[in-house]
Amino acid sequence: MPEKRTMANLALVGFMGCGKSTVGRQVARELGFEFVDTDQLIEDRAGMPIPEIFASEGEAAFRVLEKEVVASLANQTGRVIATGGGAVMNPDNFANLKTHALVICLWASAETLHERTRHQSHRPLLQQEDPLGTIREILKERGPVYKQADVIINTELRPQREVAAQVRHQFQESSCT
Ligand code: S3P
């Protein structure tokens, strides 16, 4: 169990396609929390969609916006926060989330993540000739970081409502300790 902290919010981390937004929305509804998505907040700030930010400003500029957005959530309460898959690769972002949120990682294998993302085109990092190879490569690098979450939930072969129920349960448990 995570050490005793203020769990004003619940943050979902994990690779692209692991279900952070879908699960997050459902959990927020069930908890009566507000759902926020860092990607959406970034797009609102930039006034353009993420693929356009990557294309016109580059990934580094995207990460600057991402860091600002993550920092802006620190004084909020009652939020379920879905983070972009790369957000916690910046240790400042991870540390920041842990000051106010229970951080839950949704885990899936590279093959499953590929299956879930292969027909989508809004993720610039996966617009490659060999998306599965790319997923494997990035996951290898990110895996050890994702595993520093307070809780890791395996989403393989499980319906999203079941994953959502487990996320909610973990959050409620942590809030009672
Ligand atoms: C990214 C994940 C995306 C988005 C951006 C970069 C990443 O969010 O932040 O395309 O580095 O993994 P999702 O995880 O919500 O797809």
- For the stretch 135-163, pLDDT in tens is 999 999 999 999 999 999 999 999 999 99
Asked if pLDDT for residue 176 goes beyond 80, the answer is no
**Tens digits of residue pLDDT in 98-141:** 999 999 999 999 999 999 999 888 899 999 899 999 999 999 99
Q: Residue with the nearest Cα to atom 15 of ligand 1?
A: 84
Instruction: Check residue 38 and give its pLDDT.
Output: 98
Per the DSSP assignment, residues forming a β-bridge with 34 are 79
How many of the other CB atoms lie within 10 Å of CB of 162?
Answer: 12
**Residues 107/14, Cβ–Cβ less than 8 Å:** yes
DSSP structural state of residue 85: T
Tokens 């990607």: give the residue. Answer: 39
Q: What per-residue confidence (pLDDT) applies to 139?
A: 97
Stretch 67-91: mean pLDDT: 97
How confident is the model at residue 5, as a pLDDT? 75
Residue with the larger pLDDT of the pair 145 and 2: 145
Q: Which position has the higher pLDDT, 1 or 23?
A: 23
pTM attached to this predicted model: 0.95
- One-letter amino acid identity for 139? L
Q: Are 57 and 45 in contact (CB under 8 A)?
A: no
**Dihedral of alpha carbons 39, 40, 43, 45, sign:** negative
Atom of ligand 1 nearest to the CA of 15: 14
Q: Are 39 and 33 in contact (CB under 8 A)?
A: no
Check residue 3 and give its pLDDT: 56
- Ligand 1 center–CA 110 separation, angstroms: 15
Collapsing DSSP to helix, strand or coil, 74 comes out as coil
Q: What pLDDT, on the 0 to 100 scale, is given for residue 175?
A: 78
Distance 63 CA to ligand 1 centre (A): 10
Which two structure tokens, joined as six digits, stand for 88? 């916690």
Cα–Cα distances in angstroms (integers) from residue 80 to residues 26, 42, 119, in the given order: 10, 16, 26
Instruction: Tell me how far CA of residue 16 lies from CA of 76, 122, 131, 148, in angstroms.
Output: 25, 11, 12, 17
Give the pLDDT of residue 48: 97
Considering only the C-alpha atoms of the chain, give the largest distance between any 2 of them, rounded to a whole number of Å. Answer: 47
What residues are in contact with ligand 1 under a 6 Å CB criterion? 16, 20, 39, 50, 84-86, 123-125
Cα 124 to averaged position of ligand 1 atoms, centre (Å):
8
Ligand 1 geometric centre to CA of 40 (Å): 11
Ligand 1 pocket: which of 54, 114, 123, 137 to mutate (most atoms within 8 A of CB): 123
Q: Is the pLDDT of residue 22 over 70?
A: yes
d(CA 50, ligand 1 centre) in Å: 9
